[in-house]
Amino acid sequence: MAGFAFIHGELDIKLFLIYVLSKLPNPIDRNELIGICSVDGGVGWFEFAEFLEELVKTGHVEKLKDNRYMISEEGKQAAETTKTGVPFSVRMKADLAINEVAKRMRRDAAIESEIEEDPEGGTKLRLALSDSKGEILKLELLSSDEKTAKSMSSYFRKYAEEVYMNIVEILLTEETEKKMRKKEEKTNADKDTQGL
């Protein structure tokens, strides 16, 4: 299969790494980045890892303290001028993988969860969900212990959109019920007035 790959040499690999990083909305860890870059199948993990570190040294890629990588300004300029250096078929395969990772990254960035001990007892859990316009849900809960708070945090991270929709539904159901009661009360009052 390696004989049919389009990415072969050092320059090809570096251009490809820069291309992939330029398409991602957030920093990425090395293994996930190399996983995306292996769509062509022509180059192994060690080559990608070696050339990724060289791109860090040349300033095209930034290595963050948490060992994740992101494109630098210099790398963005290089990606823009050299993107056609990556074969079209490889870009298309990579874009499919990039889109999945980017979608997950955007979702992860929209969900916040923070756990801290409450000095008065228990554990505080702060949850937030944002969309492209800003924060749409902010919730603070007091949990009996850290284990329960972690469980709730995990659930929220997994089902944040559903939690949000359930809260909205509950609030709207109550509001709808209030409106219906007021309407019914008004109708009954009108009937009483007409009967006099």
For the chain, give every domain's residue range. 2-107, 118-195
Cβ–Cβ < 8 Å for 148, 115: no
Q: Please give the order of strands across the beta sheet that includes 123-131.
A: 111-117, 123-131, 134-143
pLDDT along the chain (196 residues), means of 10: 66 91 95 86 82 96 95 94 86 92 94 94 95 94 95 97 93 79 81 67
In which element (H, E) is residue 45 found?
A: helix 45-57
By CB neighbour count within 10 A (0-12 exposed, 13-18 middle, 19+ buried), where does 54 fall? middle
Tell me the CATH architecture of domain 2-107: Orthogonal Bundle (1.10)
Instruction: Report the C-alpha gap between 172 and 60 in whole angstroms.
Output: 50
| pLDDT for 148 | 96
Within the chain, strands assigned E span 28-29, 61-63, 68-71, 111-117, 123-131, 134-143
CA 120 from centre of chain: 34
Instruction: Report the C-alpha gap between 116 and 130 in whole angstroms.
Output: 21
| pLDDT for 4 | 59
Q: Please give the order of strands across the beta sheet that includes 28-29.
A: 28-29, 68-71, 61-63
Instruction: Report the C-alpha gap between 185 and 13 in whole angstroms.
Output: 73
Q: Rg of the Cα trace of the chain?
A: 26
DSSP state at residue 86: S
